[in-house]
Structure formats: structure tokens, C-alpha cells
Chains A and B, each alone.
Chain A
């Protein structure tokens, strides 16, 4: 049963990641089915010398924020800022319209690089000489804070950290705010960043695996995750007439084994991102609808479901199927028009979230 009492209209989308910046770049990568990885030289002597990663470039942020204002803002927050600005631009909202919007940022790991930089300052310079700038920029809500400062978004502001379930957790709150009238519009999204330590951890955890250059999303027994970074934001509204990309009309989450999971959309996007430990649930899915996966375009990161929501919204608006189909020959024939797309994300400990997007507001009766 959906946890939503009323649909949330998707008014704008803003994404940056290994595919580039903005909807056009994202759609181009989705049509290709993958993004080119960047080889990162390992800083550690053991393991493979080069590791693939999908990295984001935030140069376009200077279109929205003066360069001097960015001096102290780290890469993590820059990604969130750029994703937020792109979503607002896509929604046709100006900064002047942001005074009463709510902001929710989801992140699995937070500002990891700045956190490690702070630890480095302690280790190198001693406890008494730890870096105050790194400390204040390492707090988990730093990206949401910069969004509020740059946009002068003075409404409610939350940061959520629930690893792979961070996006669905953020949506609970957005739904409550909109339904109870705290705000009319919510900027909600996810951000996570690459760090060399994170890549090293991947190596350590998956020592028995050959490092994959590209995610093989439907090979559930192969570890093929590629560490990625990026930000994916949506502008959500209470007003159905603002639904440029349709509406989010169903959200179900919980323990897969305790829930009767019913997928009732025309298409299904699964968030299988190359982690073998998550693959079992996806592997046992038996659904009649065509199944797609877009993780080779944006990579493996805790807030990956944010990108899948953006993909679903773009698919609905453009009436095109993106990414890789599980059975391409059959589905390419059968998929003509579709009115709903669901995003399914599962975790290693059997948690799942299933979010449905529809072209029109559906009848909740």
C-alpha cells in the first residue's frame, strides 16, 4: 500500500554525474546505455593500479554562482548546488521564488573527502591544529546549508542519511510537507561523492572480483559496481498543473520479505548497480512488465535511486525507453506508449523502496 496520500507533481529535474551536466547530457548517455569511466590512479600500493570511476564536473556552477562565492565550497556541496540550480531552472523557478521552498538533501556518505581532509589535518598537524574550515564543511548537512544560503531558501531544510534508502526516506518528508501545507514546493535530491578511500574500500570488500570497467546490471552474480559521484534533484509541487514530468503517486518501502511487493506500472527501472550482494532480490523478480536499468550511465552510489527517478520522469515526458532492457529484442517491439514507470531499489539487507511515477494524477480511491 502506498504511503502517499496525494501525488507530488514533478516540476523540474537537475542531474550531474559521470555522464555530464543537465538533462541533455543525461539523455544522451541514457540513449548510449553507458557513460565512459575515468581511470583513477590508486593511491595505495596493493590491488589494481587504476580503478574506474564515474566523476562529475561542476564547472557549470559558475553560470549560477559567482566564482568568488565558491572559494570555500567543496566538491560535494558544489555538486548539490549545481543539481539544485539545474532543477530549479528546469522548473522555471528563479532564485527570487525560493524564499518559501523546502529543501531536502539525501546522502549516503556525506562530505566524505572533506571529512577525510579534516582527519588528515589532525594526523599531520596535531589535535591542536585541526582545520576549522574542513570541520565546518564536513558536517552532513553542509550541502543543504549552502543551498539555503545561495538560494535564500529559508523554509524547512532537512538532510537524510540512510545509505541506499536515502532517497525514499527523503520523499516521505517531502510528501508530509506538501500534504500538510508547510510549503508549496520542495527541492529534493541526493548527492554522494567519490573518494580514493571509498574506491579502496570497494577493492578490499571485493577482492575476489576482477575490477569491471562497466556495470553489468543484469548479471546478478558478478560484482561489477563502479564507484560514482553526482547529484540528482527534483522540484516537487502540490499543484498537478505543475507536473511537467508527471507525478510521483506511489511510494512503498520496507523489508522485502515482510512486504507483499506489487509492481503495478507499465515499465520497471531497477537500481541493480553491480553489487553482487544486492543482486539476489533483483534476480528473483518475476514481473510481466519490461525491465530497464540505467546504472551504467550514472554508476554505483547510495543515492542512485535519485537518478532513476529522473530517468523515469524523462521517459514519461519523452515517451522513450532509456538504458538497457533486460530482454531488448522482445521489449523493443512491445513498448509503444506507457503511462507509468516504477523505480525499484533494493539493499543487501533486504530493504527495498518502490516509487511509481505516472503521467497523470491517478485515482487514489
Chain B
């Protein structure tokens, strides 16, 4: 893959309303979790979540799902940083590629309940769902006319969206792609992860021996990807980073559990390294999926020990929660920011080494050296995806 340039990054999550805020907050070790702010549930105890704190939906008259509002906010941040005007963008082949889970699911609980009770519920919930496809919302908002798609690969959606967007650039499908991921906290996924018994009642502890599940989060991140031809005309705009490689592999094993030896993840890594031409020892660090569930962290540790045993790694889920379809995009944004700062934050929540693991995450904020890093995502359905990202030129 040629070096696909990232000219703008937008990000909002529980750690902050912008990428800078989020990075500062993580470096300070802050973990902004609490009870779900926008819904209630009747479990014996609540499961802490990581909500976007200051961003509230414009409820009255607004027919977009919160997921799409988050996506649009991140896209606007990214386009502003990339210094694109709408008129300039509309002269080019601009694609939109966004990952999500909640944003494409018809989980209209109150509507369904009323329907079952033989009432005639208001159609607003269905209107809202039909109008809220995140990629289409961004496409319409900016009046674009290029390829437009929402990827729904569960928790690797954001990573796959950025990877596919880079491939669109590489193939000459697009001059520019607005790529990323978005997901909101919602009752359905909250109850769903609880039903699978992987929602933690305490703050998550990725890679720690006493880890007991994940915390859900919400947010969005969007990257502006540009082709080399576009880049040549925009040398005055600072490159925030580069997408150097993308790989994906499928476990073909189980609907919700990863392959015990990480078959698909190893394949994704091999493909990304082959595509990028990057040597493994060039990696400054790895941003893991690191959810804090027993299975995920065990398999990721195993693969890291086999494939990248000397590379420092961490999980940022302890600062953001697991933002599902947004996670890969948010963590790609973090990875680029950490490369820029040449520092990564400690893996939040870790307390004690798991004797089964032969690798340990970074326990304190650590200076790094190098211009390349890797971000990985694992997902229900056996999807695994990784991005190899390069430092910008700020």
C-alpha cells in the first residue's frame, strides 16, 4: 500500500470531546465512567459505562440517531483540521466509509413493545432509523457524490472502515475518503453484553489476572484520507499521519469467542505487514483491542507473545470503554496522536500479571521511539482487523 495520507482527525469519546482533550486526559490517567446517562436498566447492579460527557443530542426535531450525530461531529472536526471547504470537496471524488453496530440495527425497543401491545406506535423511531445510516448522513450533510458505505463488522467495523477506505484510495476509486466509526451507548447492547456475562460490574482491567469483563462506551472518530495526487497539491496542510497497511482475517470458529490460537488475528497481522512492507521491529507500540474479557485478552496476549514479543503494547479501553463499531477508529486516532507525541499512556486497570501470559502491557506512561505503530481489533463473528499507521509531519 502506498502511503495514504491522513490530513485531518476528529474524535470524541468519554476521555474527551476532541482528540487533544482525550489524549491529555488519558496521559493524566483519568477514567470518566459512571452509570448510563441516557437510559435505565433493572439489573441487580449497574455496569459502569463511558459516555461522551458534554455532547448531548438535539432531541427536539432532530431525527438522527445519536450514533450519526457523533459521527457527524467527528467528521466536522476532521474536515476542519484538514482545511477542506465543502465546495472544494464537492469537486473531487470523495467517499464516505463508516463503521458502526448500533447505527445500523433496528433495535427500537419502545416501538416494538407498543406494536406487540397492539397499539399504533409513532413512526418516529423507524423514521429515525431509516434516516440515520451514519455514512449516508455524512454524505448528505456535505453534499458528496462518491462511494458511500456503512460497514457493520461488529467490533472491528471502525478498523475495517479505515482499511477499506485506504484501499479505495489505492484503487483510484476516490481522491479523498471520510473514514471512521461511530457508536452510541444503548440499552440493547448494554443488556446484550450483560446476557453474555461479559459486562463488568467494575471498571475494566484489560490483561490483568483479575479482569472480569468489559465496560461499554460510546464515541466516534473520523480520519480524512487523501490520495498522493491530492496530497501533491496540498503540501501546505500538515499530514497528521499515514495509513501504511491494513489486514484482516477470519477465525471461522465461533460466533462470539475468538479462535483459541488467534488464527484470524495472525492472518490479519501477516497481511498488514506484507501490504505495508514494514518490518515488525519497526513498530513503536501496539494499541491492542484489550477489552478486559477473559477470552479476548488471553488470545491477544498469546498472539502478541508469538508475533510481536518485544513490542510495547497497551489497551486504551480502560479510558474509553468498548465503543464497539467506533473502537477501531478511535484507537487509530489515538495511535496517530501517540506517535506524534512519542508517548503512550499506561494500560488503565491493570493490577496483576496473569500467570498464563508471557507478555505484560505498559504499566506507566512510556516514551516511545519510532514512526510506525499498529492498532488491532477483534470482533464477534470471528472478524480480526489491523491497521499499520505512520507518524505525521507536524
Total A-B Cβ pairs within 8 A = 200
Taking a contact as CB atoms closer than 8 A, the residue among A122, A141, A165, A258 that contacts B152 in the complex is: A141
State whether A145 touches B255 (Cβ < 8 A).
yes
Is A200 touching B145 in the complex (CB atoms < 8 A)? no
- The reply to whether B192 and A135 contact each other, CB–CB distance below 8 Å, is yes
Q: Judging by beta carbons under 8 Å apart, are B146 and A254 in contact? A: yes
Chain A residue with Cβ nearest B166 = A176
Question: Does B115 sit at the interface, judged by CB under 8 A?
Answer: yes
- Chain B positions 184 through 205: 1 when the CB is less than 8 Å from some CB of chain A, otherwise 0: 0001100111111100000000
Inter-chain CA distance A120–B112, complex, in Å, is 8
- Taking residues whose C-beta sits less than 8 angstroms from the other chain, chain B's interface range is 35 or more
Q: Which positions 249-269 of chain B face chain A at CB distance < 8 Å?
A: 249-256, 263-264, 267
- Say how far A130's CB is from chain B's closest CB, in angstroms: 4
Interface string of A3-37 (1 = CB under 8 A from B): 10100000000000000000000000000000000
Partner of A349, one of B109, B140, B193: B140
B118 touches A44 (CB 8 A): yes
Whether B382 lies near A128 (C-beta < 8 A) is: no
On whether the beta carbons of B149 and A160 are closer than 8 Å, the reply is yes
Q: Is B123 an interface residue (CB 8 A)?
A: yes
A205 touches B145 (CB 8 A): no
Q: Judge whether B107 is part of the interface by a CB distance below 8 angstroms.
A: yes
Docked-complex contact A176 and B109, CB < 8 angstroms: no
Contact, CB under 8 Å: A127 / B133:
no
- Interface: A110 (CB within 8 A): yes
Chain B residues, CB < 8 A from A362: none
The stretch from A61-69, A148-156, A282-290, A291-299 touching chain B is: A148-156
Q: Mark A125-168, 1 if CB is under 8 A from B, else 0.
A: 01111111001111111101110110111111111111101000
> A residues within 8 A CB of B250?
103, 148, 153-157
B172 to A5, Cβ gap below 8 A? yes
Residues of A with C-beta under 8 A to B150: 160-162
- Which B residues between 232 and 275 are near A, CB-CB below 8 angstroms? 248-256, 263-264, 267, 271
Q: Are B381 and A144 in contact (CB under 8 A)?
A: yes
CB of A221 within 8 Å of the partner chain: no
Contact A176 B164 (CB under 8 A): yes
Given contacts A127-B41, A141-B383, A180-B171, contact A159 B153 (CB under 8 A): yes
* A128-B44, A160-B149, A205-B123 as given contacts; A172 in contact with B255, CB under 8 Å: no
- Are A159 and B112 touching (Cβ within 8 A)? no
Within 8 A of B (CB), among A92-119: 103, 109-110, 112, 115-116, 118-119
Expressed in whole angstroms, the Cα–Cα distance for A126 and B112 within the complex equals 15
Residue contact A204 to B120, C-beta cutoff 8 Å: yes
CB distance from B242 to the nearest CB of A (A): 17
Of B23-31, B98-106, B346-354, the one contacting chain A is B98-106
Q: Is A263 an interface residue (CB 8 A)?
A: no
- Which of chain A's residues has its CB closest to B146's CB? A254
Query: Contacts A44-B118, A130-B191, A157-B381 hold; do A5 and B140 have CB atoms under 8 A apart?
Result: no
Q: What residue of chain B has the Cβ atom nearest to residue A105's Cβ?
A: B152
Is A327 on the interface with B (CB-CB < 8 A)? no
> What A residues does B254 contact at CB under 8 A?
149
A123 touching B171 in the complex, CB below 8 Å, given contacts A141-B379, A154-B263, A162-B150: no
In the complex, whether B135 has a CB less than 8 A from a CB of chain A is: yes
Contact A176 B171 (CB under 8 A): yes
Nearest residue in A to B259 (C-beta to C-beta)?
A: A154
Tell whether A157 pairs with B171 under 8 Å between CB atoms, given A118-B192, A172-B149.
no
Interface residues of B in 80-120 (CB under 8 A from A): 101, 104-109, 112-113, 115-116, 118, 120
In the complex the two chains form, what is the Cα distance from A67 to B256 in whole Å? Answer: 21
B126 within 8 A of A: yes
Q: How far is the CA of A197 from the CA of B129 in the complex (A)?
A: 14
**Residue interface bits B156-183, CB-to-A below 8 A is 1, else 0:** 0000100010011011110000000000
* Cβ of B147 under 8 Å from chain A: yes
Chain B residues contacting A351 (CB-CB under 8 Å) are 148
- Which of A127, A146, A158 contacts B191, CB < 8 Å? A127
B130 at the interface (CB under 8 A from A): yes
Evaluate contact between A172 and B382: CB separation under 8 angstroms: no
- Measured between beta carbons, the chain B residues less than 8 angstroms from A45 are 118
- State A128–B150 Cα separation when bound (angstroms): 31
B329: interface (CB < 8 Å): no
Q: Residue B42 contacts which of A115, A126, A160, A200 (CB distance < 8 angstroms)?
A: A126
The reply on A317 being an interface residue by CB < 8 A is: no
**Min distance, Cβ A118 to any Cβ of chain B, angstroms:** 7
A173 contacts the other chain (CB 8 A): yes
In the complex, chain A residues whose CB is within 8 Å of the CB of B248: 156-157
A144 to B264, CA, bound (A): 15
Q: Is the CB of A110 within 8 A of B106?
A: yes
Which residues of B are found within 8 Å of A320, using beta-carbon distances? none
A153 and B252 contact, Cβ closer than 8 Å, known pairs A123-B113, A141-B383, A176-B173: yes
Residue B151 is within 8 A (CB to CB) of chain A in the complex: yes
A136-B145 CB under 8 A given contacts A123-B113, A127-B191:
no
Q: Do B43 and A200 touch across chains, with their CB atoms under 8 A apart? A: no
**Residues A258 and B105 in contact, CB atoms below 8 Å apart:** no
- Sample 30 A-B pairs with CB under 8 A, ordered by A number: A3-B173, A110-B106, A118-B107, A119-B112, A122-B191, A123-B112, A127-B187, A128-B194, A130-B191, A135-B195, A136-B192, A140-B152, A141-B152, A141-B381, A145-B380, A145-B383, A148-B251, A149-B253, A153-B252, A154-B249, A155-B249, A156-B250, A162-B135, A162-B150, A169-B148, A176-B168, A200-B115, A201-B126, A254-B146, A349-B140
User: Knowing that A44-B115, A122-B188, A145-B380 are A-B contacts, what are 18 other residue pairs whose CB atoms are under 8 Å apart, sorted by A's residue number?
Assistant: A46-B118, A46-B120, A110-B105, A110-B106, A110-B152, A118-B107, A127-B194, A139-B381, A144-B381, A149-B255, A154-B249, A157-B248, A161-B133, A162-B149, A173-B167, A253-B147, A259-B145, A349-B136
